A and B are shown apart, each in its own frame.
Chain A
């Protein structure tokens, strides 16, 4: 039997380019875990999250961060965890760290994550994103699930001029094209 070695390829081949001072970078180094909160277990989950990752439970509009781990509220009873990961299956570790208090599914291969940054990044995003991104209403760590160019997307502010954009990996190329085009028009 022949032993094949398979090498995983990022959805966008590890895209990393600057367009008019806006850097667009694929973050394929991140693992994504979805955590669903059983009905009525909020207090228990809050405690488990603190014990496991030292991070507070995120509100509907603001993600929480501790070190490399970021937790985003993706739905009323659901959270999404972003963390550095290259393990093929991070689910068992997360399940045991959270003491089985949440329902866990690996979403690492379902979302594409783009990091966009630069002084004029908001000029590019205002062409794409229906959310008001002014720092007074969308401050650091603010998060929102919305739609960009008809594609479902999630946006998180990671700094004054940097954001994470997430969308379905199946349309990663179209999503990147939309972001690239907006960056071109803004420059």
Chain B
């Protein structure tokens, strides 16, 4: 599988580590949100047959985190973004 890194171009998936559902970006506020919200954040995931947004870490590369949109049925990758851009767009990062 090839991941088309937004800064570096096409790179072999072997350079990356899979880090899970993109929902991990949306961590609840530990000071104000309740335990159930945290429980759901930590343990509950959707399991879609089709388009899935997920985090990949370019460990054997430039150490960037990516948000990859991939079909779980075909493995086709339709979109690759820098996770920090996605997080910023959601107001999660400076």
Of A39, A130, A144, which one neighbours B94 at CB under 8 angstroms? A39
The reply to whether the CB of B9 lies closer than 8 angstroms to some CB of chain A is yes
* A162 interfacial by beta-carbon distance below 8 Å: no
A61–B7 Cα distance when bound, in Å, is 8
Q: Tell me the complex Cα distance, A39–B94, Å.
A: 9
Partner of A147, one of B7, B60, B64: B60
Q: Is the CB of A146 within 8 A of B60?
A: yes
A108 at the interface (CB under 8 A from B): no
Does more than half of chain A's interface fall in helix, strand or loop, or is it mixed?
strand
| A60-B15 CB under 8 A given contacts A76-B7, A144-B8 | no
- Contact between B64 and A76, CB atoms less than 8 A apart: yes
Contact with A along B34-73 (1 / 0, CB 8 A): 0000000000000000000000000011111000000000
Residues of B within 8 A of A76 (CB): 7, 62-64, 82, 84
Measured between alpha carbons, how far is A15 from B60 in the docked complex, in Å? Answer: 26
Residues of A within 8 A of B8 (CB): 60-61, 144
- Which residues in B have their C-beta under 8 angstroms from that of A147? 14-15, 60
Chain A residue nearest to B6 (CB atoms) is A60
> Are A75 and B14 in touch, CB under 8 angstroms?
no
Which residues in A have their C-beta under 8 angstroms from that of B63? 75-76
Is the pair A146, B15 in contact by a Cβ cutoff of 8 Å? yes
> In the complex, what residue of chain A is closest to B58 when comparing beta carbons?
A145
Interface size on A, residues (CB 8 A): 13
Known: A60-B7, A61-B8, A130-B14. A145 touches B62 (CB 8 A): yes
The minimal Cβ–Cβ distance linking A99 to chain B, given in whole angstroms, is 24
* A20 on the B face (CB < 8 A): no
| Min distance, Cβ A107 to any Cβ of chain B, angstroms | 14
Q: Mark A114-151, 1 if CB is under 8 A from B, else 0.
A: 00000000000000001000000000000011110000
- Residues of B in contact with A (beta carbons under 8 Å apart): 7-9, 11-12, 14-15, 60-64, 82, 84, 94
Q: A residues near B, CB below 8 A?
A: 39, 60-61, 73-76, 130, 144-147, 152
For this complex, 29 residue pairs linking A to B, each with C-beta atoms less than 8 Å apart, are A60-B7, A60-B8, A61-B7, A61-B9, A74-B62, A75-B62, A75-B63, A75-B64, A76-B7, A76-B62, A76-B64, A76-B82, A130-B11, A130-B12, A130-B14, A130-B15, A144-B8, A144-B61, A145-B60, A145-B61, A145-B62, A146-B11, A146-B15, A146-B60, A146-B61, A147-B14, A147-B15, A147-B60, A152-B60
